[in-house]
Structure 1
């Protein structure tokens, strides 16, 4: 990438739950216009890193820099007003609100001037949401709820999109559609994406670069193609093997 400094830099971050360390000196860089993925087994610490970037929990050591600003100790609501949007694990839409109301909630951090254009953009990406716009979020299928979670994040016009396990629990056809949308947003609009995923195959095929996390530590990094070709990555994440990619 052409950017000299990362848009997002995680530097030596340690995060704890009480006295239990969850992240151990994590270093990650995401440059403008990249898709960067973090893969690892369930419980490796991937979602903890995503939550730490968003300020809850806060890093106990190290720092997180976004667009040249140290955001390590900012409260979550301040971080999310800096053109960062998150589609969290488990989707966490507002189930009693309609699709349209959920999307309106995503736009609250903007001035509203581009609401109609942003709404049309989301409906173009996810035509199903237009069909369901008056339906309550809680009545949607899992795949539709994931589309809504991403659409709600896009309504805030983010410079950096954080996606936490977008394929979790979804049918393969829906997973393919979600990943195609992420690819299109990056290719057509230059949107920077940091993607946390258990589905290593899809994530590494999509990403410019990737990192592997084991037990709260980054154990490997490289381009998506390089990591896909690594035998230890294939054994641990692509062929059903149980060997951790720690070496």
Structure 2
């Protein structure tokens, strides 16, 4: 693995540096197929860290493994000093991790408000009104759509709802899986601006999986490149953007 010296990334430098998520030697299988082959990765408190790679590289599998489904067959995942490798998903989520999954996976028959209520199930009811107002400030369109069924929203609105639902659980670590997938460029910029905003203003730690390497690396403090279930390169977002191998594999042909 190529590990570059850290330089200032395009995003503002995080205020803290304590390791929040530590992944060591993770091997994950689907049946007999090895999807992750000894992955090592760190996310420090207050950072935006991105994982880029081509479709099928194993990026989403890593996020799902962090959440316990599928479970890692070997290696360790430590969150805020606690080994979560063998914990069931519901216990992992209660520790302060939330995921906005690939494909959004909102509840299509529920209204926007009901989806947001589902996100808040593990939190103190006393926080609900304030947290809801925070989501409506981040995504004003959701306030206008709060009585509308999730399945009738546009793709961009559904992505906003998926992120909003995750944030309603008051996570300390937000996992985002392909938030730009299938969205128009204008909506992509809006989504990434919100990610930057919650990191800068709230100190939210974000682990972002993305195929859109250009936007992801511009946003991230640090990044990793995954190829065939293995980390092949790491460095600051700016370094990876400038790296000839990364540019050739993921950035050629425009942004």
Superposition TM-score, scaled by structure 1 size = 0.96
The answer to whether 1:36 aligns with 2:86 is no
Distance 1:191 1:226 in 2: 23
Task: Give the structure 1 partner of residue 11 of structure 2.
Answer: none
Query: What are the residue-to-residue correspondences of 1:4-83 with 2, within 5 Å?
Result: 5-83=18-96
Task: Give the structure 1 partner of residue 176 of structure 2.
Answer: 163
Which segments of 5 or more consecutive residues in structure 2 lack a partner in the other structure? 1-13
Query: Aligned to 2:208, what secondary structure does the other structure show?
Result: strand
Which segments of 5 or more consecutive residues in structure 1 lack a partner in the other structure? 242-247
Query: What are the residue-to-residue correspondences of 1:133-148 with 2, within 5 Å?
Result: 133-148=146-161
The answer to whether 1:89 aligns with 2:102 is yes
Shift of 1:112: 1.1
Query: Aligned to 1:7, what secondary structure does the other structure show?
Result: strand
The answer to whether 1:98 aligns with 2:111 is yes
Distance 1:13 1:228 in 2: 26
Shift of 1:181: 0.1
> More relative contact order in 1 or in 2 (CA 8 Å, sep 6+)?
2
Query: What are the residue-to-residue correspondences of 1:160-199 with 2, within 5 Å?
Result: 160-199=173-212
Distance 1:113 1:201 in 2: 40
Task: Give the structure 1 partner of residue 5 of structure 2.
Answer: none
**Contact 2:17/2:46 (<8 A) preserved:** no
Cα distance change of structure 1 residues 143 and 4 upon mapping to structure 2, 3 Å threshold = closer
1:122-143 residue CA offsets vs partner (Å, 9 max, x unmatched): 0000000000000000000000
**Contact 2:119/2:169 (<8 A) preserved:** yes
Query: Aligned to 1:114, what secondary structure does the other structure show?
Result: helix
Distance 1:76 1:197 in 2: 22
Moved over 3 A (4+): 1-5
1:56-77 residue CA offsets vs partner (Å, 9 max, x unmatched): 0011110000000000000001
Query: Aligned to 2:22, what secondary structure does the other structure show?
Result: strand
Query: Aligned to 1:202, what secondary structure does the other structure show?
Result: helix
**Contact 2:17/2:45 (<8 A) preserved:** no
Superposition TM-score, scaled by structure 2 size = 0.93
